[in-house]
Structure 1
Amino acid sequence: MAVAVAAVLAALAWTLRPAGTAEPSEFGARPPTAGPAAQSPAGTEPGRADARGAPRSYAGAEPLDVRVPRVSLDAPIEAVGVAADGTVEVPDDADAVGWYRHGPPPGAPAGSAVLVGHVDDRTGDLGAFARLYEVRAGDTIAVAREDAPPVRYEVTAREVVDKERLPAEVFRRDGRPVLTLITCAPPYDRERGGYQRNLVVYAEPVRT
């Protein structure tokens, strides 16, 4: 678990010039981790029966796209794992978002589904997750999924943490379901490897 946390932090920081963005404000409280979900998130209910008559579940459907309409965030999602050097494979395209496929997918009935993305790219242009600086409590997040209906979440909290102190529960695979979105945050220090903090947005399932 600790290795995975360190890997994500290392992969998110571009070792380039600062984007010039101010540190975002924090709000809300980190979602509780204890206890199973009382209900399934919207979009994870069993669908029609399959050819054998068994109920079909969407809980493990692969995510394709993430949208936060109020801040005009609309980005494709790529499944990412761990690279040979031990870091998480974040998409090269700063306009894309990575889903950490070794954890739960968005829409899973338990655990933290993690999406990671860059705040800017090597040219200094803003990345898809720069939009996370603008989200507010109550914003709706919709994740489109392969062969499954979209799953919806509501933003409940945002915090800024040192790269070395990302909460371990971000990568948990059990407990209450949550969508966790991570990007870089100031200060930027070229000599120390880039951005020194992470912005973490938490969103809880919209219940049926």
Structure 2
Amino acid sequence: MPGTGVDGGTSTPVPSSTPLDPLITPSTDVPSGRVGTPAPSQRIRFVPTEVVLPGGAQAPVVPAGTVGDQLQVPSGARRVGWWDGGAEAGDPFGSVVLAGHVDTKTEGLGFFARLRKAEPGEYVVLRGAGRTATYRIDSKVSVPKDALATKSGAFDQTGAHRLVLITCTGAYDRNNGGYEDNLVVTATAIGLAK
């Protein structure tokens, strides 16, 4: 949702010579209050098309939707998905959610395997539409897969703006073809460049 800008107009006071007699109606061309034109929004927001992790590794980001309440992570070890139901970089609130593979059967380690080494205090950069947003990592937690949507808060769109990076972690379950847990890395916005 676009933010609203600050009123950039000037105020025009009612002239002191306006008659105060209740029988005299002021002219319609005399302003009765503040007049101005709102300035364009100063908020910069964009859909991320690239993510840069601590250490400088970068990967393309593509939109990712949900099917049956499940986020569809893009195929390919090096691609990352931006949840199109979440916030954009620079939004005033809500989570920018990115998800990527820790590994794949055919391509080996995934781009988000690097999240296992990411630490609080390090930086993640999002780029898109000629813009850049920088986030500082606050936390890194492991969450059971069945609790990701309900208990982790990763998809929360009502709180303060933040970046949430999600990948798989924990023990690999060969019978079900997946990992038991998700790694959730949360970061706070610290800068936005035009």
Fold-level similarity (TM above 0.5): yes
Shorter-chain TM-score category?
0.7 to 0.9
Match of 1:123 among 106, 110, 115: 106
CA apart distance, 1:106: 2.3
Work out the number of aligned pairs and report it: 157
Normalised TM-score (structure 2): 0.72
Question: Is the Cα contact below 8 Å between 1:110 and 1:177 reproduced in 2?
Answer: yes
Question: 1 or 2, which has the higher helix percentage?
Answer: 1
What is residue 52 of structure 2 aligned with on the other side?
67
Give 1:2-151 correspondences, 5 Å limit: 54-70=39-55, 72-83=56-67, 86-123=69-106, 125-147=108-130, 149-151=131-133
What is residue 189 of structure 1 aligned with on the other side?
173
Alpha-carbon displacement from aligned partner over 1:112-157 (angstroms, at most 9, x marks no partner): 110000001122511110000111111111100214x201100111
Q: CA RMSD, aligned part only? A: 2.4
Q: SS where residue 175 of structure 2 aligns?
A: helix
Match of 1:153 among 135, 141, 151: 135
What is residue 33 of structure 1 aligned with on the other side?
none
Alpha-carbon displacement from aligned partner over 1:13-41 (angstroms, at most 9, x marks no partner): xxxxxxxxxxxxxxxxxxxxxxxxxxxxx
Q: SS where residue 153 of structure 2 aligns?
A: helix
Q: SS where residue 156 of structure 1 aligns?
A: strand
What is residue 177 of structure 1 aligned with on the other side?
161
Distance between the aligned counterparts of 2:96 and 2:42, measured in 1?
A: 17
Q: SS where residue 71 of structure 2 aligns?
A: coil
Question: Is the Cα contact below 8 Å between 1:59 and 1:109 reproduced in 2?
Answer: no
Structure of greater relative contact order (alpha carbons < 8 Å, 6+ residues apart): 1
Q: SS where residue 63 of structure 1 aligns?
A: coil
Distance between the aligned counterparts of 1:90 and 1:207, measured in 2?
A: 27
Distance between the aligned counterparts of 2:61 and 2:99, measured in 1?
A: 9
Distance between the aligned counterparts of 1:56 and 1:184, measured in 2?
A: 38
Structure 1: segments with no counterpart, 5+ residues: 1-43, 47-51
Normalised TM-score (structure 1): 0.68
* % identical aligned pairs: 35
